[in-house]
Structure 1
Amino acid sequence: MTKFPEDIAGIAAAIRAAYVTAPISPIRTRLAFHEVDMAYDIQEANTSYWLAAGRRIVGCKIGLTSPAVQKQLGVDRPDFGILFADMQVPEDEKIQLVRVLQPRIEAEVAFEIGSDIDATDPAADDIIRATAFVMPALEIVGSRIKNWDISIIDTIADNASSALFVIGKDKRKLEGLDLSEVTMRMTRRGEVVSQGKGSACLDNPLNAVAWLAGELGRRGRPLRAGDIVLSGALGPMVSVNSGDEFEASISGLGTVSAHFV
């Protein structure tokens, strides 16, 4: 396992402990320098730890794809986190709410990568060629930071506030599908709680995946065939309570649901 500086390793350990105890104070208060690369070093320390413990990477998630959220956090870029196999929940399986700290949910377009992407500056057309399928997805996000008091430093260090995800059964090819124009409608127990469209995600989810592919390529962990990418929220995220049942419908892609107990 990679050796990390003591301060990085210590903060990473505090985040891991929060998963089984309680949310902690913001990471940014523990760092002398608020650098994005340092936050990714903390994330990487935990990724390395979890891989050594037997977890398996299945892809990545993209966060901060909404201009409104970027403005709120004072940033001009998205971020990413790692998806592990044990984070995926089958659509027909009820989700124990205790698995997630401060849970919220959002609807997204999921990509299944069909061929390796080695370019460090890919365009949307490169992503189209490399994509096997797109699917409707729900991401259940959670924060190990108390009261969701996060900056970009906090969320990156905390694996981009990731927790669980559900992917719908319908798979679509990209041919003939304009992801910037897809519309999303999410209900909770039949009541509409979030709406949006593809253009809310960096103007087009393809742009988000192109950004991710380039970022990962530059960091030496390029997207590979078989990877799953959650491309970013299509509308506002919503808090989750026990007993909630959510269904998201994305035009042209189908529906996906999640049930919490």
Structure 2
Amino acid sequence: MHQNQLEEAARRLTEAERSRTPITPLTQTYDGLDIPAAYEVQRAVIAERIAGGARVRGHKVGLTAAVMREQFGVSEPDYGVLLDDMFLLEGSEVPAGSLLAPRVEPELAFVLDRPLGGPGVTVADVLRATAFVTPSLEIIDSRIRNWEITVHDSIADNASSARVVLGGTATDVRDIDPRLLGVVLRRNGEIAETGATGAALGNPVSAVAWLANKLGEFGVTLDEGSVVLPGSCTRALPVSPGDHVRADFGQVGSVGVVFA
């Protein structure tokens, strides 16, 4: 893709989010949208948001489940950027019409108390750099029409990032086995999905290490205080106005959100 096409694609995604009007898949518009080009589009989208006053508060990892990577025909996860205006306080309501086609994923969020910069970040480095873990709900959304996405569309669209709700409990990662936490996702009080934290690359700590090393290829470091979402524990749950979603992470606690 030419630079003007990358910038045009970024503008289309930004306007789709602003106007709440989805667009046709970028892969149907731009023949050259390979994975490197998709990340260029993502960086252009984030740069525009930062120019408008947003601040980077963390990152997310997607496609951490092997079955999802097989579905999209890719060999590694993808990632996106979490901005400060994406974070909602627990107990907040997500206003109707503020998103296009939201879905919810429960994730064990990592909060760092020291920087992590690749290459060469290990699981031990992640454990040492983690201040605490907390339950979270990632609300994903697609600016692409009807979720008709390839991995290229998703990457360009900031890995379908939209909102994040962090739970109010903090747990030392050394006090748990981060691979083995069972997770129950409820919608309106009824169990909708179940899973385990090990769904994220077998160990969410490994997903954080992968992210730090991947970002290191572009000279990006996970800063102190960063929130890292390592991947979902269950399938994404579609939601509608009026839904109340809650995720229980056993000994680590729970987190909920309401869609108005």
Q: Which residue of 1 aligns with 2:235?
A: 236
Matched letter for residue 5 of structure 1: Q
Q: Which residue of 1 aligns with 2:64?
A: 65
Q: Which residue of 1 aligns with 2:81?
A: 82
TM-score (norm 1): 0.96
Q: Which residue of 1 aligns with 2:259?
A: 260
TM-aligned CA distance change 1:198 to 1:46, over 3 Å: same
CA apart distance, 1:33: 2.4
Q: Which residue of 1 aligns with 2:25?
A: 26
Counterpart Cα distance in 1 of 2:31 and 2:220 = 27
The C-alpha deviation readout for 1:178-222, integer Å capped at 9, x for no partner, is: 111111001111100011002211001011111100111111111
CA apart distance, 1:125: 1.1
Q: How does 1:1-261 map to 2 (within 5 A)?
A: 5-19=3-17, 20-261=19-260
Counterpart Cα distance in 2 of 1:251 and 1:74 = 33
More divergent stretch after superposition (245-254 vs 129-138): 245-254
Secondary structure in 1 matching 2:97: helix
- The answer on whether the counterparts of 2:118 and 2:215 sit within 8 Å (CA) in structure 1 is no
The C-alpha deviation readout for 1:42-81, integer Å capped at 9, x for no partner, is: 0000111111111111001111111111111111111111
- The answer on whether the counterparts of 2:109 and 2:227 sit within 8 Å (CA) in structure 1 is yes
Matched letter for residue 213 of structure 1: A
Counterpart Cα distance in 2 of 1:92 and 1:29 = 39
Unaligned runs of 5+ in 2: none
Counterpart Cα distance in 1 of 2:222 and 2:27 = 29
Unaligned runs of 5+ in 1: none
Aligned pairs, number: 258
**Percent identity between the two aligned chains:** 36
The C-alpha deviation readout for 1:79-130, integer Å capped at 9, x for no partner, is: 1111111100100211113121111001001010111112313111110011
Secondary structure in 1 matching 2:128: helix
- Give the 4+ runs in structure 1 shifted more than 3 A: none
* Cα RMSD for the two superposed structures: 1.1
Counterpart Cα distance in 1 of 2:96 and 2:168 = 22
- The answer on whether the counterparts of 2:184 and 2:194 sit within 8 Å (CA) in structure 1 is yes
Matched letter for residue 246 of structure 1: V
Counterpart Cα distance in 1 of 2:138 and 2:206 = 19
Counterpart Cα distance in 2 of 1:97 and 1:203 = 35
TM-score (norm 2): 0.97
More divergent stretch after superposition (97-106 vs 159-168): 97-106
Counterpart Cα distance in 2 of 1:166 and 1:230 = 11
